[in-house]
C-alpha cells in the first residue's frame, strides 16, 4: 500500500502556519543546560508567582472526585459568578479553555476565506495564526513608538475587513490605551466591523487607568467583544479557564462552534472559587506593583531601558542580541522570553517574588 501524502490533504490555511512558541518549560531548560529542574526560576510565561488561589486549590481538592463527569456545556454557575464579579450580564458571557479557546471559537465564527483582520505588528501572535488558519487575510498595522496605532488601524479598513484586534494592555509591550483613546477609536469603527479587545492583563493596570470594552457593550455597542482570563492574576494557567463578553446573539453563534465540554467540571469550580478570592487578588496586585517598582529601579541602575508596564511583566532593552542574553540567563537558571522579530534587543521578564526578582537582576549583572 503506497504511503499517504499528508500535505495535500491539509487545508491551505494551515500548511503555512508556524507553531506557537511558548515560554521555555523548566524541564526543557534543565535538559538544555544540564542543571536540575529545581535550580530554575521561570519568568517567561507571566504566571502568578504566588501560585493558585488558595480558595481555588481547596475547591479542586474538594471536588476532584467529580472529574469523571462531563461538565454542563455552557457552565451556567461560572457565567453567573463572572457576571457578579465583573458586572456583566451572564447571557453575554461565553467560557472556554483559556482565553485562547474563546479566541479560537470567536474567529471561527466570524472569519471566512478572504476576510481581512487588522492586527498590530507587535502584539500577541495567536490572532494572526488563527486568522491564517481560517484562510483569512492578516492586514498588519505597524506600531508607533511601541504603541498600537489606532488611527493606522482605522485607515486600513476596507469593505473586506471583519475584525480589528486590540490587546489592551498589550503583550509584549505592557502599554495601555486609555479611555479617551479607545472611546474615540470605537466611535469611528464602521458598522459591520468587529473590535476584538483582549483584556487578559487588565487587572494589573494602574488603578483608574484602564477602561474596559465591556462598558461599551453595556451602552449598546454590539460590535465589541472582550476576552478575559483566569490564567494570570487568579493563578489558574494550568487549569485553562477564560471567558469572552459580547452581544448575546454573537455569544450564541460562538457557542455553536466551540467544543461542547472544553471547561472541565474541576476547572469551572476552581474558577468560581478564584474569582471570589478577593484576598488573593489583592495580594497578587500588591506583589506585582512592588516587583515592577523594584525591577524598573534596578534596570535603570544597570543602564537599561524598560517600558512602563500595565501588566505583570516588564519589557527591557538590553542593547544586544536578546537570544544571547536568554542563553546566558538560562545557564544561570533563569528563564525569560526573547527573540521578538521586531525587538531583537529586548527581553520580556515576568514579575516574580522578591527573591526571584533579585535573582534575575543579579544574574543579568553577571551575564552582561
pLDDT by residue (tens digit) across 5-64?
788 888 888 888 888 888 899 999 999 989 899 999 999 999 999 999 999 999 999 999
Cell numbers at 362, concatenated: 543579579
Domain boundaries, the chain: 7-51+279-367, 54-277
Neighbour count for residue 327 (Cβ, 10 Å) = 14
For domain 7-51+279-367, give the CATH number.
3.90.1150.10
CA 268 distance to own-chain centroid: 19
Predicted confidence band of residue 1 (pLDDT cuts 50, 70, 90): low
What crossing angle do the helices spanning 248-257 and 98-110 adopt, rounded to 10°? 100
Q: pLDDT value at position 90?
A: 94
Predicted confidence band of residue 368 (pLDDT cuts 50, 70, 90): confident
pLDDT digits (tens, 9 = 90+) for 323-345: 999 999 999 999 999 989 999 99
Phi then psi for residue 219, to 5 deg, are: -90, 0
Closest CA to 209 of 176, 232, 182: 176
Cell numbers at 283, concatenated: 495580594
CA 293 distance to own-chain centroid: 22
Asked if CATH classification 3.40.640.10 holds for the domain at 54-277, the reply, yes or no, is yes
Q: What is the β-pairing status of strands 242-245 and 93-96? A: antiparallel
Comparing 14 with 142, which gets the higher pLDDT?
A: 142
pLDDT digits (tens, 9 = 90+) for 178-212: 999 999 999 999 989 999 999 999 999 988 899 99
How large is the average pLDDT for residues 129-138? 95
- Global pTM reads 0.93
Are 7-51+279-367 and 54-277 the same fold in CATH? no
Amino acid at each position: 500500500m503506497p504511503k499517504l501524502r499528508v500535505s495535500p490533504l491539509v487545508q491551505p490555511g494551515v500548511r503555512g502556519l508556524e507553531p506557537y512558541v511558548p515560554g521555555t518549560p523548566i524541564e526543557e531548560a534543565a535538559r538544555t543546560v544540564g542543571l536540575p529542574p529545581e535550580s530554575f526560576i521561570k519568568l517567561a510565561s507571566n504566571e502568578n508567582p504566588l501560585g493558585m488561589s488558595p480558595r481555588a486549590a481547596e475547591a479542586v481538592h474538594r471536588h476532584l472526585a467529580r472529574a469523571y463527569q462531563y461538565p454542563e456545556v455552557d457552565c451556567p454557575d461560572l457565567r453567573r459568578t463572572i457576571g457578579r464579579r465583573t458586572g456583566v450580564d451572564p447571557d453575554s458571557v461565553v467560557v472556554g479553555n483559556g482565553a485562547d479557546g474563546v479566541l479560537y471559537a470567536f474567529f471561527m465564527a466570524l472569519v471566512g476565506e478572504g476576510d481581512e483582520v487588522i492586527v498590530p505588528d507587535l502584539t500577541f501572535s495567536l490572532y494572526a495564526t488563527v486568522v491564517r488558519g481560517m484562510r483569512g487575510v492578516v492586514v498588519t498595522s505597524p506600531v508607533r513608538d511601541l504603541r498600537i496605532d489606532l488611527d493606522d488601524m482605522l485607515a486600513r479598513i476596507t469593505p473586506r475587513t471583519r475584525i480589528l484586534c486590540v490587546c489592551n494592555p498589550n503583550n509584549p509591550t505592557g502599554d495601555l490605551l486609555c479611555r479617551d483613546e479607545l472611546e474615540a477609536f470605537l466611535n469611528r469603527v464602521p458598522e459591520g466591523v468587529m473590535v476584538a479587545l483582549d483584556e487578559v492583563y487588565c487587572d494589573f493596570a494602574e488603578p483608574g487607568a484602564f477602561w474596559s470594552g465591556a462598558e461599551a457593550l453595556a451602552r449598546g455597542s454590539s460590535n465589541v467583544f472582550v476576552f478575559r482570563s483566569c490564567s494570570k492574576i487568579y493563578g489558574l494557567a494550568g487549569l485553562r479557564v477564560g471567558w469572552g463578553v459580547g452581544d448575546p446573539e454573537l455569544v450564541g453563534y460562538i457557542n455553536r462552534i466551540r467544543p461542547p465540554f472544553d471547561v472541565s467540571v474541576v476547572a469551572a469550580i476552581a474558577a468560581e472559587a478564584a474569582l471570589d478570592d478577593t484576598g488573593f487578588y489583592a495580594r497578587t496586585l500588591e506583589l506585582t506593583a512592588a516587583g515592577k517598582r523594584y525591577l524598573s529601579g534596578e534596570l535603570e541602575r544597570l543602564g537599561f531601558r524598560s517600558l512602563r508596564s500595565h501588566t505583570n511583566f516588564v519589557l527591557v532593552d538590553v542593547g544586544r542580541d536578546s537570544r544571547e542574553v536568554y542563553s546566558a540567563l538560562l545557564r544561570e537558571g533563569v528563564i525569560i522570553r526573547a527573540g521578538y522579530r521586531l525587538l531583537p534587543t529586548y527581553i520580556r521578564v515576568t514579575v516574580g517574588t522578591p527573591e526571584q526578582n533579585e535573582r534575575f537582576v543579579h544574574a543579568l549583572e553577571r551575564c552582561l
